[in-house]
Structure 1
Amino acid sequence: MRSVERALGIHIDFARMRSHFQAGAYLVGMIYYTPLAPQQGEDPLRRLVDWLAYNGYQVVTRPARHYVDHDGKNRLRGDTRVALAVDAMALAPAADHFVMIAGHSDFAHLAEALQIQGKRVSVLSSMQTLIADELRRTANQFIEIETLLPDFDMAASANDVGREAVAPDGNTHTHLAPGNESSSEATIVERRKRVPRLPRSSARTGRRSDKEDPSP
C-alpha cells in the first residue's frame, strides 16, 4: 500500500476504502499486513496500525528493522508475503474471488494456486509502481488503482462526506493488505458463505469505531 501511495502522491483513506468494499459485497473482514520495527519515539506507522485495529481491520505485523538505502534514505525492511500467502490459502475454501493489491512476482505463484482451486484472481495496483509483469499476466484481471482514487484518496474525502455502504445479501468480501517498504499487497475475498476467522496468533481484529478520525 505504501509504495502505491508514494508513487501516486496520494494518501489512502482507509475508512473510505472499507466503505468501498462494503458497497460491493458483504464485508467479512479487512486484513492489513505490515513489518513493524521496535517502537522508537513517535511512529506514524504504529499510529496507523492502532487506528486500523480499532476501526474494522485485522492487523498482522512482522518484525522489521530500519536501514539506510543507497540514496541515504531511511527505509524499513521486513517481509509479510509469506503470512499473506498462508492466510490466503486458508481463506480459499470460503472464497470465490481474490483481489490482490500487489506488485511482487512471488504472488504470481499464489494467484496460480488459487486459480487451480477455481478462484478468480484480480490485481489492483498501478503501472507507476514496480508491478511484476508475471503477476499481471497471471491475474484474471488487472485493475488500475487510479480509477478508484475518487473513492480511496484522502484528498477527495476532504470535500466529500462519503457514502453509506449498503451490502447486498449473500456475498462475503474480505480485504487483506500487506505491506513492506519495497512492495505493497492486498487481497479481497468474495463468496456466498462465511469466511473462516484467522487464528489469533496470525491476526487480531479491532473494534469498529466509525466516529474516530481515520487519519493516521
Structure 2
Amino acid sequence: MERIGLFIDGANVYAAAKRLGWNFDHRKILEHFAGMGALYNAFYYTAVPAQIDDKQKRFVDALTYMGYTVRTRPLRENTDEHGDTSRRASLDIELVTDLLTTESRYDVAVLLSGDGDFERPVEVLRARGKRVIVASIPEMTSYELRNAADEYVDLASIREQVERPGYRLPSEGQRSEGQRSEGRFQDRELRASFYGAGAGGVGDDR
C-alpha cells in the first residue's frame, strides 16, 4: 500500500471555494485523500492575525483534532503608495520544506494548491521517484505546475466527496465591484481562513 503525504495550501483552497461558490469540509478532504493509501501525515498551511481570537483558535484546534499538522505564519500589514492596506503572509517556504524533508516518509505527495511557485519542488520530487498529485481548480492552477505533476485532480470533480453541505460561499461572479478591490479581497480572503470556521469547513457563511 502506498504511503500518502497530504499538503494543503489553506489560502489557495479557500480562494478555490470562493470561485466555486461552495464550501469544503476539511474532515472529508482528509478522509478522501487518505483513502488512496496509508496516510503518513496531513499538513495544513494558513496565515493567522497577530492577535488570534477564540473563534480563530478553535478553527486551528479543530484542524489539529482532525489529524492535521497545522503550520501558521502571522499576517503582516502593508500600505501601498495609494494608501490602500492589505495583509499578507506566505507559507510557501514552510510547505516546500515539509515536502522535501519528509519525502522518505511517503510514496505519493498530494498537493492542494494551484500556485506555480511549487513547480520546481514537484519536479524535484518526481526526479527522486515520488508520485505527485496536484488538486485545485483549472482557473487557479498554473500550467507549469499542472504539467509538472503526475496527476491533476479538479476539486469540482470530487464535490460530492468533499463538500460541506448547507454552507455556501459567494462566487466570484456574485461580488460587487467594491468587493473586487484587490487589497480588500486579499485581506478578507486570508482572514476568512479562520473567521466563522467550524470543525468541518472554512468560513461558515450560510
> TM-score normalised by the shorter chain: which range applies?
0.5 to 0.7
Q: Structure 1-normalised TM-score? A: 0.65
Give the direction of change, closer, same or farther, for the CA distance of 1:22–1:139 in structure 2 (3 Å limit). closer
What are the Cα deviations for residues 21-77 of structure 1, in whole angstroms up to 9, with x where unaligned?
232222232111111111265655x432121112211111012134589xx998541
- Cα distance in 1 between the residues matched to 2:163 and 2:86: 24
1:152 corresponds, among 162, 168, 175, to: 162
The separation in 2 between residues aligned to 1:40 and 1:95, in whole angstroms, is: 33
Q: Number of residues paired by the alignment?
A: 165
Contact (CA 8 Å) 1:17, 1:152: kept in 2 or not? yes
Any idea what the Cα deviations from partners look like across 1:144-193, whole Å, max 9, x if unmatched?
Answer: 11111111110179xxxxxxxxxxxxxxxxxxxxxxx5999xxxxxxxxx
Q: Using the TM superposition, give the Cα deviation of residue 94 of structure 1 relative to its aligned residue in structure 2, in angstroms.
A: 2.4
- Asked if 1:87 is matched to 2:87, the reply is no
The residue number in structure 1 matching 2:30 is: 18
Structure with the greater relative contact order (CA < 8 A, sep ≥ 6): 1 or 2? Answer: 1
TM-score of the pair, normalised by structure 2: 0.68
1:28 aligns with 2:14: no
Q: 1:121 maps to what in 2? A: 132
Pairing 1:214–2:200 present: yes
CA distance in 1, matches of 2:41, 2:35: 13
Matches within 5 A, 1:39-188: 39=51, 41=53, 44=56, 46-66=57-77, 76-129=87-140, 131-155=141-165
Cα distance change of structure 1 residues 27 and 94 upon mapping to structure 2, 3 Å threshold: closer
Q: 1:65 to 1:145 in 2, by over 3 A?
A: same
Q: Deviations over 1:77-109 (max 9, x none)?
A: 101001110111011122221121111111000
Considering fraction of residues, name the structure with more helix: 2
Q: Are the structure 2 counterparts of residues 147 and 68 from structure 1 closer, same or farther at C-alpha, using a change threshold of 3 Å?
A: farther
Q: Distance in 2 between matches of 1:2 and 1:50?
A: 18
Q: Could you list the runs of 5+ residues in structure 1 that have no partner in the other structure? A: 158-180, 185-211
Q: How large is the RMSD of aligned CA atoms in angstroms?
A: 3.2
Contact 2:59 2:199 in 1 (8 A): no
Bigger shift: 49-58 or 109-118?
49-58
Amino acid in structure 1 at the alignment position of 2:28: R
